[in-house]
Structure formats: C-alpha cells, structure tokens
Amino acid sequence: MLERTLVFLKPDAVARKLIGKVIARFEDRGFDILTLKMLRMTEKMVDIHYAEHLKKPFYPPLKKFILSGPIVAMIIEGEEAVQVVRKMVGCTNGLEAESGTLRGDFTLSNRVNLVHASDSLETAHREIEHFFGQVS
C-alpha cells in the first residue's frame, strides 16, 4: 500500500553534515521525498511531538538535544513507507541497531540517534499534520 511517513533528521545529523547521505538512502531505496524543510523546533513543538515521553527520566536531556540545533523534516512516500523506513532507521539504541541501518551505521547513542521516523500509519498522519499542516 502506498503510504506517507514523517521523518526528521535530528540536530546531530545536521551538525555532522549527514543530510545528503541520509536522504540519499531513502531515495536510493525508491522512496519519494514529497516535501522537506529545515527548522528549529520550539519547546511547544517538542512537547507535543514527544507527548508520550513527557514524564520519562530521559525526557529533559532529549528535549535539550532536540532544541540544540536545526532539524530537517520531510514527508516520505512509497510502498509500505512507515514500516520500511522504520526498518531502514534501525532500533532506538545505536549500540543495538543492526549494521546497514542508519543508526547501525552512524551512531552509538540511544538519544543522539540521527533520525526520527513515525512508528505507525496513525502516528504518521498526526506527525505530518504537526509539521506540515494539512497536505493534499
């Protein structure tokens, strides 16, 4: 099924000049980048985006990290985009992420972990609207 998912490159990916490499992985796989923008998230945006983690002990350092620099947000479209992109990103902790995944190839951290990708179709709808408003 043709799906859309929300991906953003976290401040570490931008600071390490990995924007091109990360986007190339998705394009090489056959996905379309429908739209993209560089932005600095506001505190409110971070609280909304990570609402489920607000009470977790790792939330304050996570928020500080996400606010530490610009991110690059994009809508990616393609067959089974939500699940395939998540697989390409790899599991949260870079130490455990498989080689060949973005996190497995580019990070050893479970916070400073390069990329965010929506975890379900429902989340993707919500996150796309949060970052880009209504998209046709």
Q: Considering beta carbons, is residue 54 or 134 the nearer one to ligand CMP? A: 54
Write out the binding residues for ligand CMP, residues 34-53 only, by CB under 6 A.
53
Q: Does 126 bind ligand CMP (CB under 6 A)?
A: no
Question: How large is the greatest C-alpha to C-alpha distance in the chain, in angstroms?
Answer: 38
Q: Considering beta carbons, is residue 25 or 116 the nearer one to ligand CMP? A: 116
The Cα–Cα gap between 1 and 17 comes to 33
Q: Where are the beta strands (DSSP E) in 10-99?
A: 32-39, 71-79
Active site members = 116
Q: Pick from 92, 108, 120, 130: which binds ligand CMP (CB under 6 A)?
A: 92
In whole angstroms, the minimum distance from the beta carbon of 59 to ligand CMP comes to 8
Q: Does 63 bind ligand CMP (CB under 6 A)?
A: no
Cα Rg of the chain, angstroms: 14
The Cα–Cα gap between 106 and 13 comes to 9
